[in-house]
Amino acid sequence: MPADLNDYFKKNSQNKDNNNNFEPPQFFKDFGKKAGLLYTLIVIIGLLILAKPFVVINSGEVGIKATAGKFDPKALSPGLHFFMPFVQDVFIVDTKVRIINYTDNEDVTIQNTKSGIKFKRAIFVLDARGLPVSIDLTVQYKLKAKSAPQTIATWGLSWEDKIINPVVRDVARNIVGKYTAEELPVKRNEIAAQITTGIKDRIDAQPGQPVQLLAVQLRRIVLPQKIKDQILRVQIAKQQAQQARYEVERAKQIAQKNAALAQGDADARKIRAQGQADATKIEANANAYANKELGKSVTPNLLKLKQLDVQGKFNEALQVNKNAKIFLTPGGVVPNIWLDSKDSQKAVSVGSK
The C-alpha angle with vertex 108 and arms to 102 and 110, in degrees rounded to 5, equals: 130
Under a CB-based contact definition with an 8 Å cutoff, are residues 201 and 168 in contact?
no
* Integer Cα distance of 216 and 140 in angstroms: 6
Other beta carbons within 10 Å of 238: 10
* Integer Cα distance of 184 and 127 in angstroms: 9
The C-alpha angle with vertex 54 and arms to 52 and 57, in degrees rounded to 5, equals: 125
Least Cα distance to 135 among 109, 100, 163, 173 occurs for: 173
Instruction: Read off the pLDDT band of 41 (50, 70, 90).
Output: confident
* Integer Cα distance of 309 and 291 in angstroms: 22
Residues 208-263 have pLDDT tens digits of 899 999 999 999 998 888 777 777 777 787 888 888 888 888 888 888 888 888 88
Highest mean pLDDT among 21-30, 55-64, 193-202: 193-202
20 pLDDT more than 70: no
Under a CB-based contact definition with an 8 Å cutoff, are residues 80 and 56 in contact?
yes
Half-sphere exposure at residue 279, Cβ-oriented, CA atoms within 13 angstroms: 6
* Integer Cα distance of 158 and 155 in angstroms: 7
H or E element at residue 313: helix 300-320
Coil/strand/helix, residue 137? strand
Highest mean pLDDT among 43-47, 142-146, 230-234: 142-146
Rg (CA), the chain: 65
Please compute the mean of the pLDDT values over residues 176-185 and round it to a whole number.
Answer: 91
Please tell me whether the peptide bond between 335 and the residue prior to it is cis, using omega within 30 degrees of 0. Answer: yes
Least Cα distance to 160 among 89, 204, 210 occurs for: 210
Residues 217-230 have pLDDT tens digits of 999 998 888 777 77
Under a CB-based contact definition with an 8 Å cutoff, are residues 126 and 119 in contact?
no
Residues 274-295 have pLDDT tens digits of 888 888 888 888 777 777 776 6
Instruction: Read off the pLDDT band of 2 (50, 70, 90).
Output: very low
* Integer Cα distance of 69 and 26 in angstroms: 50
19 pLDDT more than 60: no
Beta 61-67 vs 324-328: how paired, if at all?
A: unpaired
Q: What is the largest CA-CA distance in the chain?
A: 238
Residues 100-141 have pLDDT tens digits of 999 987 555 455 555 789 999 999 999 998 889 999 999 999
pLDDT of residue 36: 67
Q: Is 331 left (phi over 0), alpha (psi -120 to 50) or beta?
A: left
Other beta carbons within 10 Å of 134: 18
In angstroms, how far is CA 233 from the centroid of its own chain? Answer: 25
